[in-house]
Amino acid sequence: MSNSESRRTEGRHGGLPVQGSDSAPNQNGGLPLLRRLAYLATGLAFAQIVFGAIVRITGSGMGCGDHWPTCQGYLFPPLERPDLIVEVTHRYIAATVTIAIIALLITAFMRRAQRGVGGRGGVFRSAMLATGLVLTAAVFGGITVKLSLNPYVIVTHLAIAMTLLAVLSIAVLRAGGWGFDRTEVASPQTYRAARAGVMLAFIVLVMGALTANVLGANASCQGFPWCTGIAVTGTPLYIQVTHRVLAFLLFFHMIGVAVLAQRRHEPRQVRVAAWAALGAIVLQIVVAAGMVEMHLPPVWRSLHQAMGTLVWLSIFTLAALAKYSLAGRSGEEATPRAAVAAA
């Protein structure tokens, strides 16, 4: 019997045979619907974050000025005003994300009596937190415009948006998504390493956002992998160099996480998530190399931001999968598949 098999049978519920019931996920109609809504909200939130950077990178942030809900009097600006179209699209995606999250909240509320939906560790609580975060992000979006794109407000706005994406990823997991299989048990070592990856990734993101928003920081250090040319010194340079150094640290850390997860025969969902996160980081570093070598073309800046968001989502989802696969997790009945199995 292999390592993961022994961990599989022993680790949970005193070896309760859950195999059979897990294979009937649709017995309980609620979670597949919640899972679809959570995936939809996550996808839309991802698009909103990427579009938010496109608004800033194209300088369209002030396009609509204080006009709301119309933009310079238009609901759909004319094609000859791409700046207004970019800003309005960002607003409409924001509205769609909010509607999707509220739909998730209402559906979870209506099914809160179901296992895996109400209570601690249930989908409803993630949906409530996501609703609070999307409204906070919207308010911060308004403050960003009012304070004429102050870099520290923009970075706070991005941090709130990334937290929202993380909470939605948990909602997907609690609704049985991301290929979660509760019969497999992960080791605490892998969970701790993934959790350290989440903290490091969050700092890399914040330093990246500062590099993109503090004047002169993005052009301060030129060349790859280290600065072959210095255009600006002082704080802007320190910000970008810190971003780069921490990014490479994250890269090496995640190599360790993926290789050790493989060696420890961790659950398949955890191994796949670890290699996917590492793959996203490698792609991100390739994009970063192209971006700085070509002196920050807008399309590559946007691609770098989008890949950065994907790195965050993949590392956070890895840590969540590892956490939910830990043996003897309390509140077991609140985990997604357990709820389906028990229903």
The distance of closest approach from Cβ of residue 265 to ligand HEM in the complex, given in angstroms and rounded to an integer, is 27
Interior angle at CA 200, CA 145 and CA 214, nearest 5: 35
DSSP strands (E only) in 9-121: none
| β pairing state of 221-222 and 229-230 | antiparallel
**DSSP sequence for 78-97:** -TT-HHHHHHHHHHHHHHHH
x/- binding map, residues 242-281, to ligand HEM, per CB under 6 A? -xx--x--x------------------------------x
218 binds ligand HEM (CB under 6 A): yes
Candidates 76-84, 139-147, 300-308, 329-337; binding stretch for ligand HEM (CB under 6 A): 300-308
Of 107, 187, 240, 317, which lies in the binding site for ligand HEM, with binding defined by CB under 6 A? 240
The distance of closest approach from Cβ of residue 332 to ligand HEM in the complex, given in angstroms and rounded to an integer, is 34
DSSP-derived 3-state class of residue 191: helix
The distance of closest approach from Cβ of residue 165 to ligand HEM in the complex, given in angstroms and rounded to an integer, is 12
Cβ proximity to ligand HEM: between 7 and 304 the closer is 304
Q: Restricting to residues 323-342, which ones interact with ligand HEM according to CB under 6 A?
A: none
Of 63, 118, 208, 336, which lies in the binding site for ligand HEM, with binding defined by CB under 6 A? 208
Tokens 């796949």: give the residue: 272
Candidates 131-139, 141-149, 192-200, 284-292; binding stretch for ligand HEM (CB under 6 A): 284-292
β partners of residue 298: none
Cβ proximity to ligand HEM: between 281 and 320 the closer is 281
Structure tokens at 72: 């310079």
- Please tell me the distance from the alpha carbon of residue 51 to that of residue 32, in angstroms, as a whole number: 28
DSSP-derived 3-state class of residue 326: strand
Q: Which one, of 326, 33, 15, 69, lies nearest residue 190 by Cα?
A: 326
Candidates 20-28, 68-76, 112-120, 218-226; binding stretch for ligand HEM (CB under 6 A): 218-226
The distance of closest approach from Cβ of residue 42 to ligand HEM in the complex, given in angstroms and rounded to an integer, is 18
Q: Which helix (H) or strand (E) holds 304?
A: helix 298-324
Residue 51, CA distances (Å) to 56, 94, 171, 281 in order? 9, 10, 23, 20
Say how many CA atoms lie within 13 Å of 303 toward its Cβ. 16
284 binds ligand HEM (CB under 6 A): yes
285 binds ligand HEM (CB under 6 A): yes
Report cis status (omega within 30 of 0) of the bond before 225. Answer: yes
212 binds ligand HEM (CB under 6 A): yes
Residue type, 143: I
DSSP strands (E only) in 158-300: 221-222, 229-230
The distance of closest approach from Cβ of residue 192 to ligand HEM in the complex, given in angstroms and rounded to an integer, is 20
Please tell me the count of residues contacting ligand HEM according to CB under 6 A: 26
Cβ proximity to ligand HEM: between 52 and 176 the closer is 52
Question: Closest CB to ligand HEM belongs to which residue?
Answer: 208
x/- binding map, residues 21-60, to ligand HEM, per CB under 6 A? --------------------------------x-------
CB-count burial class (<10 Å; 0-12, 13-18, 19+) for 274: buried
**Binding region for ligand HEM (CB under 6 A):** 53, 204-205, 208-209, 211-212, 218, 224-225, 240, 243-244, 247, 250, 281, 284-285, 288, 292, 296, 301, 304-305, 308, 311
